[in-house]
Structure 1
C-alpha cells in the first residue's frame, strides 16, 4: 500500500477517536469522564484537532499521489469514501449536539448516497469516476463548517452560518454537476 493510500486509511481510523471525544464530551458518559475528568473542558478542542489532522490528510494524500504518480483505483474510490465517512460522522454528531439542523445533514448525506450509487454503477461498467472540483470545493467547505461548529465560538456564529449555507449550496451544485457530467454512466447499454 502506497503512502497516499495509507493516509486515506489513517483518516478513516481517526474517525473513531474523533467521534468518541466529541460525543463523550457532550454526553459526559460516566466511563468517559472517569478517563478524561481533568480535561473535560478541552475534549471538544482535542476532537477538533483530530478532525483538522484528518482533514489535512485529505489534502496531503491527493497531492502526494499526483506529484509522485501514485494514483490508484483504491485511492480513487477510498479517498472520497474516507471524506464522506469523516464529514458525515462529524455532522451526525453535530446534529446530536444541536449545532446543525438535521434537514441540512439529510440533504448532504443524501447527496453522498446518490454519488455512491453512481460510482457503483460506473464500477460495474468498468469505469472509475474520480472526484471533481465541485466535489472538492464542497468537501472543503463542509470541513470548514464542521471545524467552526465544533469550535462553537459565539463571536463568529454569523460566519459559521454563512459557511454552512455555502457548504449546502456547494453540496447541491456538486450533485447536479456530477449527475450531468456522468449521465452517460446511467444510460442502459443493453
Structure 2
C-alpha cells in the first residue's frame, strides 16, 4: 500500500528521512510535475496531446499546440460558413445579372431574382446550422451580417438606379441597417441586443418585397409589390426605433450596475 508506514505493514521501521512523504506517494505512477503543464496554452487549456500525455504519464507530443491550432483553423470551413461565403460570391453575380442588357430584360431579371432568392435562403439556413450544430466561429460572426447587408444593399441600389424604386426607400432601409449595426457596437460593452421577432419579420418582408421588385411584374402583382414594400418600410422604421429603445435601456442598466459595483468597492 502506497503511503503506509513500513511498521504498520509488519516490516521494520525505516530510519528518519526514508519514509515516503504523502507528496511522493501520491505522485507514484503519474507523470512528473512538469509533464502535466506541457501541451497547455498560456491560458491553461490543454491541447489533445497535452491531455493524453498527462493521462498515460508520457511526454506530450511536440507540436500539440500547432495541431490544435490547425484543427481550430479547419473548423472555419464548415457548412454554415460555406453558405455565408456563397452569399458573398452571389453579390457581384446578382449585380451583373440585374444590370445585363440595360437592366430591363425580363429574362435577365429572372436570373437575377434566382440569385437573390438563393442568397436569401442561405441566410435563413446558415445561422440555424451554426447554432444547432455548434459551428459558430469568429469568421461567421463577422461575415454573416456583412453578406446579409451586401446582397440587400446591392439589390436596393440597383433597383433605385434603374428607376424601379424611389431612392428614399433605399436610404431608409440601408440607413436603418447601418445605424443599428453601429449602435450594437456602441452598447456591446453593456450587453448584446438580441434579434426580436419584429426584426425577423422585417427581414422576411424586405426579402419578399425586394424579390418582387427584381422580377419584371405587371398588373395586379406590380400593385401588390408596392404594398409589400410599404409594409417592409414601416417594419423597418418601427423595429429600428425599438432597437434604439432597447439600446438606451441596456446602456442605462449597464451604467447603473457599474456605479453600484464601484460604490460597493469603495464601501
CA distance in 2, matches of 1:161, 1:41: 19
C-alpha distance 12-63 of structure 1, shift in aligned 2 (>3 A): same
Tell me which protein shows more helix as a share of its residues: 1
C-alpha distance 185-25 of structure 1, shift in aligned 2 (>3 A): farther
Secondary structure, counterpart of 1:138 in structure 2: helix
C-alpha distance 128-9 of structure 1, shift in aligned 2 (>3 A): farther
Work out whether 1:131 is the aligned partner of 2:195: yes
Please identify, of 162-171 and 4-13, the stretch whose mean Cα deviation from structure 2 is larger.
4-13
Quote the residue 1:172 is aligned against.
Answer: 237
TM-score normalized by the length of structure 1: 0.82
- Structure 2 regions of 5+ residues with no counterpart? 1-75, 259-267
CA distance in 1, matches of 2:144, 2:203: 12
CA distance in 1, matches of 2:80, 2:162: 33
Quote the residue 1:34 is aligned against.
Answer: none
1:56 is aligned, of 108, 116, 121, to: 121
- Structure 1 regions of 5+ residues with no counterpart? 29-39
**Corresponding residue pairs, total:** 178
Work out whether 1:108 is the aligned partner of 2:173: yes
Instruction: Report the CA distance between 1:27 and its aligned residue.
Output: 5.0
Instruction: Report the CA distance between 1:6 and its aligned residue.
Output: 2.1
Alignment of 1:1-190 (within 5 A): 1=76, 2-27=78-103, 41-123=106-188, 125=189, 127-155=191-219, 156-184=221-249, 186=251, 189=255
CA distance in 2, matches of 1:7, 1:130: 22
TM-score normalized by the length of structure 2: 0.60
Asked if structure 1 preserves the Cα contact closer than 8 Å seen for 2:199 and 2:239, the reply is yes
Of the two structures, which has the highest relative contact order with CA contacts closer than 8 Å and spacing of 6 or more?
1
C-alpha distance 90-172 of structure 1, shift in aligned 2 (>3 A): same
